[in-house]
Amino acid sequence: MQTNNNCIVIFGASGDLTHRKLIPALYNLFKFGRLNKFSVLGVARSELNDETFREKMREALLETEETTPETLDAFCSHLYYQAVNTSDAADYAKLVPRLEELHTKYQTNGNTLYYMSTPPSLYGVIPECLAAHGLNEEKDGWKRIIVEKPFGYDEKTAQELDVQIHRFFEEHQIYRIDHYLGKETVQNLLVLRFSNGLFEPLWNRNYIDYVEITGAEAIGVEERGGYYDGSGAMRDMFQNHLLQVLAMVAMEPPAIINANSMRDEVAKVMHSLRPLTQDDVEHNLVLGQYTAAEIDGKEVKGYLQEKGVPANSRTETFMALRCEIENWRWAGVPFYVRTGKRLPARVTEIVIHFKTTPHPVFSQNAPENKLIIRIQPDEAISMRFGLKKPGAGFEAKEVSMDFRYADLADEQVLTAYERLLLDAMKGDATLFARTDAVHAAWKFVQPILDYKEAGGRVHEYEAGTWGPVAAEKLIAKSGRVWRKPSGKMKKKV
Ligand code: BG6
């Protein structure tokens, strides 16, 4: 039987992700009684000890979580720390007695979840160093390893990384985390699609005109200029988060709900993306970079002025793409996907635009039927359709039927990291990216990488706007326009 009793070993324990996301997620799981027998062993180069590590984590939790001193003390008593030079295999010997001691103390039977929250350069090194001490072997309890994004830098490096990790961990032990899959509303998309007879017959090229997917952020690159500049919107958001969301919109129903069946369908979508041609990257892709502007009376830096960004950088902070899926369900239906930093709002949403009636009887400008699935913030689903404007005549106007997640106030919704950490402990890989899908996604975006490499155009856009004008023109070619959502899903967005 699967159990979530285990020791969680976090590599990169002094880093940002650990105190911003991982420790708060574990804290909440503990607070809500989802963790029973467990310990957390922080590992990094810094010379901390159990006490100083606990103190740091306590401070981080006090900043972000609602807590009581008792719960905080109880949780922190499960935290431990071991300083290790993470690129030196010999130094990992220190982990052996530490893990033995923790497994005995918490009766966790050798079950160990390793979390690589480190720079990607260590993703190949850590598994090898663990294996040097037999810490990957499953003879005494399961051993799993979570790999943070980015999984590779392109198709070739992703394959190399797989080869490196597979030398020491089998595929069933590897959990490639994409936190978008842990978002409740992304999963809800599957339930919406596959448990409602209402949508299923319409969910195809016969009734859907086009699909729009937006992952917009209002913030800039903040303190992460150094990392971001080597990544850009394409690698940071599109290749992983947004393609996973697209796969959820487009996939076929899985035969059963289990990790393999679900991930088979995701992989099929990735494989069915129509390969991008030279013409596509030149005409169906827009890359952009934000420039300085004043937003709400405040001066906002341009990307080139951000800390850690070279003054001549050509890294894109925005991208928009028109792509297609070559299968029976979607042939000929364009998917317009865009993402960017320093846009007017933080909003992730999917808009399914249905075809109009064959002939407009009541009004030349009959409203479009749309299904808006708001992933964040203010999670909601809104159906838009036309009804008669009160008064004389038969003029139609757009109205909406809305469901908001906040209305289910009693439900305790797990955050993405809470959900995914719990799933990894339970051995459920359904919401983790599988190697074949990751490779197919890299293969699909390779022409974009090549285009960038060859000096492809990066347009400027003013911070606080919806990206370069070229992105408007891209969608306007087919007579369509991007939605301009606000961050709030009010009665009418
Ligand atoms: C991360 C990216 O993976 O996702 C960040 O590295 C981005 O650049 C973040 O800001 C967005 O996540 P969320 O959950 O805030 O939409």
Count CB atoms within 10 A of the CB of residue 253.
14
For the CA of 221, the closest atom of ligand 1 is: 8
Decide whether any atom of ligand 1 lies within 6 Å of the 236 Cβ: yes
**In the sheet where 174-176 sits, what is the strand order?**
79-83, 38-44, 6-11, 112-116, 143-147, 174-176
The dihedral built from the CA positions of residue 70, 75, 76 and 78, taken in this order, carries a sign that is positive
**Is the Cα torsion angle 476, 370, 367, 333 positive or negative in sign?**
positive
The continuous run of DSSP H or E covering 54 comes out as: helix 50-64
Identify the pLDDT of residue 409.
Answer: 62
Beta bridge partners of 8: 40, 113
Atom of ligand 1 nearest to the CA of 224: 8
pLDDT, averaged in runs of 10, over the chain (493 residues): 81 94 96 94 96 96 91 97 96 98 96 95 96 96 95 93 96 95 90 91 96 97 91 96 97 91 96 97 97 94 97 97 98 98 96 89 78 91 89 85 80 87 95 95 96 95 97 96 79 44
- 241 classed as catalytic: yes
Ligand 1 center from residue 479 Cα (angstroms):
31
Residue type, 16: D
391: number of CA atoms within 13 Å, CB side?
4
DSSP 215-255: EE-SS--GGGHHHHHTTHHIIIIIIIIIHHHHHHHHPPPPS
From the candidates 241, 271, 353, 459, which is the catalytic residue? Answer: 241
Judge whether 203 and 329 are in contact, CB under 8 Å. yes
**Amino acid at the residue 378:** D
For residue 49, the model assigns a pLDDT of 97
Residue 316 Cβ contacting ligand 1 at under 6 Å: no
Of 241, 316, 420, the residue with max ligand 1 atoms within 8 A of its CB, to mutate for a pocket test, comes to 241
Say whether pTM exceeds 0.75. yes
Is the Cα dihedral 371, 250, 210, 351 positive or negative? positive
Q: Whose CA is nearest to atom 15 of ligand 1?
A: 217
Q: 197 C-alpha vs ligand 1 centroid, how far in Å?
A: 33
CA of 348 to the centre of ligand 1 (A): 11
Distance of CA 215 from the midpoint of ligand 1 (Å): 9
Q: Is the CB of 148 under 6 A from ligand 1?
A: no
